[in-house]
Amino acid sequence: MDGLRAWAMAEDGTVLDDRRSDLGSAALDAAGFEPALRALVWDWQLPSPCLVLACGSVGARHGWAEAPYARVPCSPLGDGLTIAPAGDGLDLRIVGGLGQDKPADVMRGEETLIAGYLAGRPDFDGVVCLPGDQTRWAHVSAGEVVSFQTAMTGELFALLASESILRLTLEPGGRDDPAFDAAVGETMSRPEALASRMFALRAEGLLNAMPPETASARLMGLLLGAELAASRPYWLGREVALVGEGDAMRLYARALEGQGVQVTVVPPDPLITAGLTAARARLKGAA
């Protein structure tokens, strides 16, 4: 979900306060980020100057200031922090995203989560999967992101459920685990049949009274099965850390465990603050 989050943190990374706002990059232009931040934390007693570490779309081309992509393989924190313009009392540094040339891919924000995960498991050798509208699969080894792959599964589901003919058939949020499991298996074995199997959901509803919750579960299963088929080189034979929360996490874990994958589910918030703490430590080390 697009939005603004702010944490007040002590020197050792302890979270002192946590604020959130629905305002995010979709609602703000470059001139709007600083006022939105100041309005969110107006009653915090901030030192002057106050070091502000930021990550995510705040560093995009349309964000507060553009932070360049570091090319993989590299540390998830890339080559350092980008100094961004800010008003009196703020020393703003932005964590840049990661870029991959072949095949072309980018991420912003997820690199901070990966850095936070590695702060707790510096010897981790496996895959960090970050489900969302765009799900990232990142191969991590020796403290670096070696390669990564993005899938638009969540966004495709949302678009199909709201804009396509399938909107008349679905009940997003409904749960039918056996139907989901069967659909995952179908597109893992025959991903080329995805488009026709999706329309069959509409036909099943009209001809055979398929329940809307079953249709929704099958659509998500079909899409996720295609994603797992495409990302097989990432998860096959590797430990997978799933970073996130909510029903999407449950479905990714269920689909992967159904393939015999060792999965560790990790909530995101502690990793964000751990990643920002790691960025601050790197900044102090470079000073």
In a domain, 57, yes or no: yes
In a domain, 194, yes or no: yes
- For residue 131, what pLDDT is reported? 96
Q: Kindly state whether residues 253 and 280 are assigned to the same domain.
A: no
Q: Kindly state whether residues 159 and 73 are assigned to the same domain.
A: no
Contact 198, 219 (CB under 8 A): yes
In a domain, 144, yes or no: no
pLDDT-derived band of residue 286, with 50, 70 and 90 as boundaries? low
Mind giving me the DSSP string for 52-99?
Answer: EEE-GGGGSTTSSS--PPEESSB-TTTT-EEEE---TTEEEEEE--EE
Using the predicted structure, report yes or no on whether residue 2 has a pLDDT greater than 80: no
Residue 164 sits in a domain whose CATH number is: 3.30.420.310
Number of domains in the chain: 2
In a domain, 277, yes or no: yes
- For residue 13, what pLDDT is reported? 86
Q: Kindly state whether residues 12 and 100 are assigned to the same domain.
A: yes
Q: Kindly state whether residues 163 and 103 are assigned to the same domain.
A: no
Poorest-pLDDT segment among 1-5, 15-19, 29-33: 1-5
Using the predicted structure, report yes or no on whether residue 1 has a pLDDT greater than 70: no
Using the predicted structure, report yes or no on whether residue 284 has a pLDDT greater than 90: no
Does residue 12 or residue 95 have the better pLDDT? 95
Q: Kindly state whether residues 56 and 108 are assigned to the same domain.
A: yes
Task: Give the residue from 122, 24, 6 showing the smallest Cα distance to 75.
Answer: 122
- For residue 39, what pLDDT is reported? 94
Using the predicted structure, report yes or no on whether residue 122 has a pLDDT greater than 70: yes
Interatomic CA distance for residues 90 and 80, integer angstroms = 18
Give me the mean pLDDT over the 219-239 stretch. Answer: 97
Contact 129, 243 (CB under 8 A): yes
Pairing of strands 50-54, 90-95: parallel
Q: Kindly state whether residues 161 and 187 are assigned to the same domain.
A: yes
- For residue 83, what pLDDT is reported? 94
Query: Left (φ > 0), alpha (ψ -120 to 50) or beta: where does 142 sit?
Result: left
Interatomic CA distance for residues 240 and 243, integer angstroms = 9
Residue pLDDT, tens place only, 190-212: 999 999 999 999 999 999 999 99
pLDDT-derived band of residue 23, with 50, 70 and 90 as boundaries? confident
Interatomic CA distance for residues 100 and 94, integer angstroms = 19
Q: Kindly state whether residues 221 and 273 are assigned to the same domain.
A: no
Task: Give the residue from 54, 27, 154, 29 showing the smallest Cα distance to 109.
Answer: 54
pTM to 2 decimal places: 0.94
Q: What is the largest CA-CA distance in the chain?
A: 68
Question: Dihedral sign, CA of 197, 202, 205, 211?
Answer: positive
- For residue 30, what pLDDT is reported? 85
Domain limits for position 60 = 4-122+268-286
Give me the mean pLDDT over the 203-222 stretch. Answer: 97
Interatomic CA distance for residues 232 and 235, integer angstroms = 5
Using the predicted structure, report yes or no on whether residue 282 has a pLDDT greater than 60: yes
Q: Kindly state whether residues 114 and 171 are assigned to the same domain.
A: no
Give me the mean pLDDT over the 242-252 stretch. Answer: 94
Cα 178 to its chain centre, rounded Å, is 26
pLDDT-derived band of residue 287, with 50, 70 and 90 as boundaries? low
The number of helix segments (H) and strand segments (E) in the chain equals 9, 13
